[in-house]
Each structure stands twice: as structure tokens, then as C-alpha cells.
Chains A and B, each alone.
Chain A
Amino acid sequence: MTRPLLSLDGVCKRYPPTVQSGERLRAFWQLLWRGASTGGTPVLEGIGFDILPGESLAIIGSNGAGKSTLLKIISGVLAPSSGTIDQRGSVAALLELGAGFDPEYTGLDNLRFNAAFLGLSGREVDERLDDILAFADIGESIHEPVKHYSSGMVVRLGFAVVASVRPDLLITDEVLAVGDESFQKKCIRWIEGYLAGGGTLLMVSHNMYQVQKLCRHALWLDGGRVAMYGDVFDVTQSYLAWHERKDALESTGPRNSSAPYQVRALDMVGVTEGTPSIACGGTLELSISLAAPDGRPPVALVGIVRADGTPVYGVATDHDGVEPVAEPGGGFRLRLRFPGLPLLPGGYAVRAHAMDPEGLRVHDTVEQSFTVTGKTRELGLVRLEHEWRSP
């Protein structure tokens, strides 16, 4: 078995209180005598994972989830409050825009400096200088002070230096987003070549398309904890679905429980508990139970929406001339089947609405979310029948 390039175990991080001088002084003594300080705000808790050589891992999560802190800890800028980090091989990190650049000096001086931070000797820099300049492609500006650079030029130079080092482990925070389209493409091509050549990548990005393209695994951080870790498609889909659900939750109100026509239950057949998941192209079967005050069968409307509320498809019993079946207990029951579900992977919800028998007004709504899984990079909501033809 290959040994991991990087191995984290139970890593926690608390930012100590530093506002008052008394707190700083206490932390100073605690660190001096015991090597650890107490108190503070936890930002990371119990993070553990391994990165094997040649692997590519993306760290995703909403703002403030602790992604950058985790990268800082891994790259050695920050010490963890507890837990261990084992690391072999060379590491190069591009943590922040213009990290390690001195605005007063020229691009060339800063290039040499950054290369020295990454462990290149002066001679090695001279050998690679032409390659670095060609990659950065900022022309004569290299002789200008960095304070006159645009943020895109800064990131070009920073990435060019890192690329020239070809580290065993490359760590990038959300910096590539600053570069223009053609430079981003160049970086992605470079990273793909680097991964193909056995390089290992650890990246933070909010661009899920980029993440799915470059990484095989993903780690989803939420509130400083690992919410999910595994295959990049599974994790990014759950992450996006979670976001969409959160947005939907903020926009829908509470349920009306005194309505005359009610949805008693909405179940997915074959699912016991938790968020159900269906493979792309699988079968979705719903069992719906309705209540009516007067014994007349209500109209049921069933809709499928993307987790953020975007409608995908809706159909009612009276469209198709179907009537719910009366049950002995006074309710009504229905089954609805979607074979060969064409939904693309992501988070969705099915909504069952109870309408009056005339089908005029929606009285009650019940929603059940589910996830569609699958490994595809197709875009959009549904898979449309298509064929590529030779011209």
C-alpha cells in the first residue's frame, strides 16, 4: 500500500481570544509552559483524511466553513490546536492573491523571492526564468513594481512561479477565479498535465464544474466539520442540493393545517427514512394519501421542482382523467410512477398538492426532497433524448 502524502487526524483549530492585552498575556504564558492555550472560537473540529500520491481532492463548503483555515493548517502557516498532520514530499501553496509579494519591488524581484520561499535556488530560478515568464505572459510589466499590477497579473505571476516548482502536493485556494478566461484555461490545462504526470492536488473552489473536472474526491466542510467526504460527484451534488434546499426554505412559508382538503402522506415507494436518492434514469414511485371533508374525491396535483424551487414538471389527476381511490377509513389513496426518470443529478423535491374536487384551488401542500445521483457532466435539469449524427 502506498503511504499517504498527507494525513490529517482529528485536526481541530480554535482562534484564541486576542482582543484584550490580558488575554494575549495569558495565552503567552500558557503557550510557554504547556505548549497550548485555552479558550477561543472553534473553527475546525475533528478533521481527518488522507491524500494519496496522485490523488486530487477538492474542499468545498459555504463561506466561513473553515476551508481557508484548513488550507493554512495544511500548508504550515497555521498550527492546529490539536490533532496531527503527517506530511511527506514538497508542498507549494497558493493561498491568497499576491501572497508573499512586496508591492514596492518589481515583478522580477518578487518572482525570485517567491521562488526562494518555495525552495528554489538562484540558479534553478535562472534556468526556469524563461518558462515562468512565458507562462505568466505579462510582458514588459515584469520590470514594473507589483503595486502597479492588476489582480489578474498578480495571480498570473504567482501561479507561474508555483507551476515552475512542480511540487509533490499543490495547494490552491480560490485564486484562479481572478485570472481571465484564457489564463484560467491555461492553468487548468497545466493542472491536468500535472495530475496526469502523477502530481497531487488539493484545491478550494466554489466552481463546481471546475471541481468535477479536476478532482476525483471532494470534502464538504460545514461549520468546521466534515459534512461529507467521498467521490467528487456524490459530494458536489449533495452540496448543491443542500444549498438549493436552504434557498427554498428561506422562500416558502409554513403549512396550512386547517385546510379542508389535505395531503395526509407523501411517500416514496421503497424508501424507509432519510433523504431518498434515486439513480439517474431510475424509477420514482410515489404513494399519496389524501383527506377530504365531504367524501368527494379531491384532485391531486403532483409536481417535481429543483431543490431551489424551479419547477420541472407538474401533473394533476384531472389532467389525465384519474380519480383517487377511496379507502375504508374515509381517505383517498393514489400511486404515481415515473419510470426512466430523466432528471440530471442534483437535489430535487416532489410536491403533492390537495385541491378541491373541482380542481380550482390548492388547499394543502406536502413536500419531500430527494437526490438524483449519477456520474455525468451534462448540464441542466433533465436529460433530453438526443443523438449525435455524422454530417
Chain B
Amino acid sequence: MNGANRALLFRLTAREIRSRFVGSATGWIWLILNPLLLLAVYAFVFGVIFQARVPAGLEMPFIAWLAVAMWPWLMFSEGVLRGSQAIREHAALISKVALPRQLLVTASVSAVFLLHLAGYLAVLLAMALLGVDLAWSGIGRLLFALASLYLFALGLGLGLSAIQVFVRDLEQALPTLFLFWFFLTPILYAPSLLPAGLAEWLRWNPMSWWMAEIRGGLLYAEALPGLVALALAAAALIVLWLGSRLFHRLSPHFEDFL
């Protein structure tokens, strides 16, 4: 990516982020406040009403177990969904201005990750202040996992956004598919709480591996990324490669079908 494209990506991402706050009086406050309010709701629902349990061997409230995985999931699912809509959303721009179109998808995915990263930080800090014992030494492993998750989301976003130009049905189907995916990923529950036969199936869901990576660092204090982290990064790169190949194959023809 050359300098001009980098500058353009930066502007597009900044605009994407700003567009969330344009017109709201207090703007950036909501960036922090929203995640904290959401955290409070989860704490009430799962901690007080359902009295959900953390897996054996961990000494922390359930909300910590949930929150550590919840925000990475939000980054991923919202990133893919918004990224896949980026081309349709900017149809007017695409049909009039010659610009590297993949930047529109990249900017969408990046904006979502940055916004949720800010929320994630706020949530982690709030939990630390409330006395939850998070292993800060695992932050490096967490960031590595998030980086590979970003590449994975970007690859899916690129591929899906290109397909969505031709197959409009995807727009309707994707949110529901991601809802399924959410419940098939150990976010609200621990894999160890599932019946043995069912837990076997989770290994086929890449997101359950990412969640294990993320929790491994912050909750289990296993600070160093292992082979799994490398494998996930490699898988993410492969998905990114496939996604951008698909994108570049189809992108010259977008204008005809938008």
C-alpha cells in the first residue's frame, strides 16, 4: 500500500468513526458509556438473574468470563457485517470516483475494531477497578489474537462484500447466520460445561479457538502465544488472501451490478 492509499484509508476510517457521532451532543462520551452500560446489563442478567457459573478453577464473577470474550466477538461480527455492506453502502461513490475499492471495506472493518477496542479497554479497566483479578501479563497474547482476528474479519468482509454486490440475499441472511454463530461459540458458556459429545463439535468452529486464545491470556495468565495462536494467524492470512482475491476478481464489475 503506497502513501496516498494509506492517507486515504486513514481518512475513510476516521470518517467512518466520526459518522457514528455526528450530530450527537456529547459524542465521544458514548464511546465509553455504552460498553459500560452494556456490561452492567450483562452483569445483572447473567450474574443476578441466571446466576451463571464460571468453569471450575477460576475465581472470578461470571461477568468477567463473559466480557473478556464478548467484546472481541462484537468486533468480529460487527466488523464482518459492516465490512460486507461497505460496497453497497458506498455505491454512489464507487460509480463516480475511481478509488481503490478495497479501502472502503478495510476502513469499515477497521473503524468497528477501533471503536470496540476502545469499549473493550473501558470494560477491562472498569472490571480491574471493581477488583476482578485479570492477568495483565496476558495482554500481549490478547493483542496478537485480536490482530489475527482482525485479519480474519477483513478477509471475510472483503469476500462477502464482493459477493453481496451480486447476491443481495446475503444482506438478509448474514445477521441471522451470525446470531447462530454467536450461540455456537463458547461466549455465554464455557466449553467444559457442555455434554462431551457436543463439546467435540466446537473444535470445528474457528471462533471457539480464538475465544480460548483470548481468555487464555487474560483469565488463565498464560502469557505467551503458542502454536494455536500461530495457526490462527496463518488461517486468518489464508482467509484474507482468498477474500481479497475474490474481491479483486469481481471489483472491476461492481459498477455494473450496484
Contacts and interface: CB of A to CB of B under 8 A. Distances in A.
A172 to B, nearest CB: 13
Interface stretch (A3-11, A18-26, A147-155, A320-328): A18-26
Interface SS of B by simple majority: helix
Interface string B162-196: 01001111000000000000000000000000000
B253 A77 contact: no
Interface string B10-48: 010001000100100000000000000000000000000
A122 interface: yes
B93 A100 contact: yes
Given A31-B250, A121-B3, A100 B255 contact: no
A383 to B, nearest CB: 44
Contacts of A363: none
B256 A99 contact: no
Contacts of A37: 253
B4 A77 contact: no
A384 interface: no
A77 B166 contact: no
Interface centre among B95, B98, B253 (most CB of A within 10 A): B98
B4 A75 contact: no
Contacts of A100: 93, 96-97
B201 interface: no
Contact of B96 (A15, A95, A116): A95
Contacts, number: 81
Contact of A79 (B3, B11, B163, B253): B253
A32 B249 contact: yes
Given A18-B257, A32-B249, A104-B22, A25 B167 contact: yes
Nearest to A76: B98
Nearest to B2: A119
Given A32-B250, A77-B96, A27 B7 contact: no
Interface string B186-210: 0000000000000000000000000
Contacts of B256: 15-16, 18, 78
Interface in B101-117: none
Contacts of A349: none
Interface string B242-258: 00001001101101110
B254 to A, nearest CB: 9
Interface string B118-137: 00000000000000000000
A112 interface: yes
A28 B11 contact: no
A72 B4 contact: no
Contacts of A27: 166, 253, 257
A96 interface: yes
Contact of A121 (B7, B19, B252, B257): B7
Interface centre among A18, A32, A116 (most CB of B within 10 A): A116
A72 B256 CA distance: 12
B99 interface: yes
A365 to B, nearest CB: 49
Contact of B255 (A24, A78, A120, A121): A78
Interface in B219-258: 246, 249-250, 252-253, 255-257
B94 interface: yes
Contacts of B99: 117
Contacts of A32: 246, 249-250
Interface in A48-90: 72, 75-79
Contacts of A21: 167-169
Contacts of A96: 96
B96 A122 contact: no
A115 B96 CA distance: 14
A24 B253 CA distance: 12
A15 B94 CA distance: 16
Nearest to A14: B256
Contacts of B168: 21, 24
A99 B168 CA distance: 25
B166 A24 contact: yes
B52 interface: no
A104 B257 CA distance: 26
A72 to B, nearest CB: 7
Contacts of B8: 116-117, 119
In the A-B complex, list the 5 residue pairs whose CB atoms are closest, starting with the nearest: A79-B252, A99-B96, A28-B166, A76-B98, A100-B97
14 contacts: A28-B163, A31-B253, A35-B249, A72-B95, A77-B95, A78-B256, A79-B253, A96-B96, A99-B97, A100-B96, A104-B19, A119-B4, A121-B7, A122-B7
Given A21-B169, A37-B253, 13 more contacts: A16-B257, A25-B167, A31-B249, A31-B250, A79-B255, A93-B98, A104-B22, A116-B7, A117-B8, A120-B4, A121-B4, A121-B7, A122-B7
